[in-house]
Amino acid sequence: MKSSPSVLFAVVKHTRNLGASEDLVVAAAVEMATRGHSPSFWFNFRPPETDRRIRRLRTAGCRIHFHDADNRLLRMRSRFSHTAARRAQEVSLSRALRIEKPVSVLLNQGGNSDASVEAPVLQREGIPYAVLCHAATESSWPDPEFLPAMRAIFTGARNRYFVSKSIRQLTEAQLGIILDRTAIVYNPCKFIEIQPTNWPIDTTGLSLAAVSRIENKSKGIDLILRAMALPQWRERPLSVTFYGEGPHRESLESYAAALDLRSVHFAGHVDDIHAIWQRHHGFIQTSRYEGYGLSPLEAMFCQRMVVSTPIPSATEFVTEGETGFLARGASVDEVADVLERAWSQRDHWREMGIAAAKRVESGYPKDPVGDFLTLIKLIA
């Protein structure tokens, strides 16, 4: 039985997989549940029950509703009607709203245009909502036909939250409007204080770790491979190890082998972050775009300097030559250049890592989930 009316979190993604963009709303819902509220969830896809976020919600007693977009009957209907999929999604959300009767809804978008189906439903039902955006990309501007629907997501919201200032600014540019009632929120980092980490004892060379989902459209892993294939990096004692899994691991691992990159390794997923940084001297990430990017901050908390393209988290916490090195953009030339600058100061990587830990500990919010909960009280 429901203890009290509360917030429904609507998780809306085109990618149909859970990731870091769900960590904040999941943590917020769990905290709400511990305070005696009754949060619920609706997903526009069906995540696996084995996912740690789903398990966490189940343990906290949060009710979860799914839209099963892969339902066989729905797929058959979609073959004969281009509106069948949209209508089924609308019905699924409306059903969850009738069951839960939330006082407000938090639309959690993986990007900045994912909720074009859900926002109109909430507007028709007269349910106040806020929208949270985790990413936007320069390469994906709305077509003129879609622009009104994308604008409606935001203009119909009581409040608009973004995980970085740059995502808000790009969204405003793509919408062609300036948004009011906005706020910047932070996803919870795994650490909130410095994690003293032993320096690697291997003296045969230096190594960088890239810790991320192996998804190349955003992560730009091929840029590292192509830079490491340049003659100067084939000769220098520098290695890069990629940690994580994802849809493009096979092709990128094959590409690295085709380039004969003996200094590049794919290690798969590793749960123990501390173990990673005990084996590596620094962090590298060459994302083409990110909503914010927590992996660099985790490395900094573990006293490692960062080499990165100008994603939001890196531009906020990396100072050139002090806590790491920033490329000017996501290209092979820029990655090769930033590696060159980092290599020229390799004798200072350890002290840069110590400075990086102090910088992120003093600058990153201590309680991003609590801060977010304070904000979402304003939705209704």
CATH number at residue 313: 3.40.50.2000
Does residue 19 register a pLDDT over 60? yes
Q: What is the pLDDT of residue 1?
A: 41
Question: Could you tell me if 355 and 283 lie in one domain?
Answer: yes
- Residue 326 domain flag: yes
> 10 Å Cβ neighbour count for 144?
6
In a domain? residue 2:
no
Domain that holds residue 263: 206-363
**pLDDT on residue 20:** 83
Q: Are residues 156 and 89 in the same domain?
A: yes
pTM of structure: 0.88
Q: Examine the pLDDT at 48 and tell me if it is beyond 70.
A: yes
Written as one letter, the residue type at 243 is Y
Token pair recorded at residue 180: 């009011």
User: Where are any strands of DSSP class E within the chain?
Assistant: 7-12, 40-43, 63-66, 104-109, 129-133, 159-162, 182-184, 206-211, 238-243, 264-268, 282-285, 305-308, 324-326
In the predicted structure, residue 289 carries a pLDDT above the cut 50: yes
Q: How far apart are CA 221 and CA 217, in angstroms?
A: 9
Position 380 scores a pLDDT of 47
Q: Is 318 a residue whose pLDDT tops 80?
A: yes
Q: What is the mean pLDDT of residues 109-118?
A: 93
Residue 133: phi and psi, rounded to 5, are -110, 135
Task: Based on the fold, state whether residues 19 and 165 are members of the same structural domain.
Answer: yes
State residue 79's pLDDT score. 53
**Same domain, residue pair 176 and 227:** no
| Residue whose C-alpha is closest to residue 21's, from 329, 351, 291 | 291
Q: What is the pLDDT of residue 83?
A: 77
* Range of weakest confidence among 51-60, 73-82, 149-158, 344-353: 73-82
Which pLDDT does position 161 carry in this prediction?
97
Q: HSE on the CB side for 85, CA within 13 Å?
A: 12
pLDDT of residue 81 exceeding 70, the answer is: no
For residue 72, name the pLDDT band (cuts at 50, 70, 90).
Answer: low
In the predicted model, what is the mean pLDDT of the chain?
Answer: 92
> Does residue 72 or residue 230 have the better pLDDT?
230
In the predicted structure, residue 137 carries a pLDDT above the cut 80? yes
Residue 212 lies in a domain: yes
Mean pLDDT of 276-304: 95
Residues 236 and 332 in one domain: yes
pLDDT at 4: 54
Say yes or no: 263 and 179 in one domain: no
Residue 73 pLDDT greater than 60, yes or no = no
pLDDT band at 75; cut points 50, 70, 90: low
> What is the pLDDT at residue 2?
47
The candidate with the shortest Cα–Cα distance to 193, out of 357, 20, 368, 367, is: 357
What percent of the chain has pLDDT above 70?
94
In a domain, 74, yes or no: yes
104 HSE (CA, 13 A, CB side) = 17
Task: Provide the pLDDT for residue 28.
Answer: 95
> Looking at the domain assignment, is residue 41 inside a domain?
yes
Answer yes or no: is 328 within a domain: yes
What pLDDT sits at residue 107?
Answer: 97
Same-domain pairing of 142 and 237 = no
Pair (323, 290) in one structural domain = yes
Per-residue confidence band for 70, with pLDDT thresholds at 50, 70 and 90: low
CA triple 244-61-134, angle to 5 deg: 40
Check: CB of residue 18 under 8 Å from CB of residue 51: yes
Per the structure, the count of domains in the chain is 2
pLDDT per position as a tens digit, 98-109: 999 999 999 999
Question: Could you read off the pLDDT of 177-219 as tens digits, one per residue?
Answer: 999 999 999 999 999 999 999 999 877 899 999 999 999 999 9
Is 201 a domain residue? no
Same domain, 281 and 270: yes
Residue written as tokens 């999941």? 26
Phi, psi of 65 (to 5 degrees): -120, 145
One domain, residues 289 and 213: yes
Please indicate, yes or no, whether residues 17 and 102 belong to a single structural domain of this protein: yes
In a domain, 200, yes or no: no
Q: Are residues 137 and 216 in the same domain?
A: no
Whether residue 355 is predicted with pLDDT greater than 80 in this model: the reply is yes
